[in-house]
Amino acid sequence: MKRLFSRLVIISVMFLTLLSCKEKEKKVNKAVSNQNLETYQPGLDWDLVWSDEFETDTIDLNNWNYQVEEAGRFNDEWQRYTNSNENAYIDKNCLVIKAVHESDIHGMDQYTSARMHTANKQAWRYGRIAARMKLPQGEGMWPAFWMLGANIDENGGDTPWPQSGEIDILELYGSKDDGLIEANVHYADASGSHSMMGAAAFKLGNGKFADAFHIFELEWDANRITWFVDGEQFASMSISSDELSEFHKEFFILLNIAVVDANATTKFPQYMYVDWVRVYQKKDQEL
């Protein structure tokens, strides 16, 4: 009887321990998912040449610049771009860009935000540029993950836009659809006038880009630029013609939230969360 009782006790303890481990595993998995961790590998042909995982307490100024601009400087945007840690900071291993409404008035110079870029610090020619991000939402929100030619005069170079070239990895227009992003390319045509690929859209099957993190990628080589969301290709453009020569030079990365035509339907503040940004280049790539 004692032996039977002892066995029952041992079995009960083992059962409770197993349950405890399962509960712990559930809690651990939940904690990990809340940390926004994500394994990502572009493939064995690609070497990681630069990244920012945002695992420090403050923004790494060896990688990033705050671009300070008055409201209306670009595209009649309503926000001021500041260098305040109210508008850009690190939280829980994410870069956070925060758009703030400073008053009850909707209009020019009533908002602040941040425009972060790697000009004169980090730039690349060709590669796979990827970021894991969660985007803001609402009327008037205009977040972007994009690139400009490193020679642009805006940042100390000798070439004006659009001759310097622009690659839009993603733009989201809250006034259109919070579940849709667009890719584009801007350049100067043979006459020197502004030209572009034309917006190419990717729409989620359901939900909004503010609901969860997604991976946005650009693959860029001497022949083509190709865009992906979560591994799914949705746009591609040849860059082999002579008038696209700007896309065979170095580019730097930008991240920002602009505000245009916001109204009372949009709840502020709004946030862009960037889990990581990475640049890969092919092992045999000609640079």
**Contact in structure between 158 and 166 (CB atoms under 8 Å):** no
For the record, the structure tokens of 206 come out as 């359901």
Question: Is 171 a catalytic site residue?
Answer: yes
Question: 55, 102, 139, 166: which is the annotated catalytic residue?
Answer: 166
Question: Is 182 a catalytic site residue?
Answer: no
Calpha distance 237→223 (Å, rounded)? 9
**Distances, alpha carbon 53 to alpha carbons 33, 132, 249, in Å:** 16, 10, 26
Identify which of 45, 46, 50 has the alpha carbon closest to the alpha carbon of residue 251: 50
**Distances, alpha carbon 218 to alpha carbons 29, 131, 229, 230, in Å:** 30, 9, 9, 11
Calpha distance 136→64 (Å, rounded)? 21
**Contact in structure between 250 and 122 (CB atoms under 8 Å):** no
Question: 69, 77, 102, 171: which is the annotated catalytic residue?
Answer: 171
Residues assigned a catalytic role: 166, 171
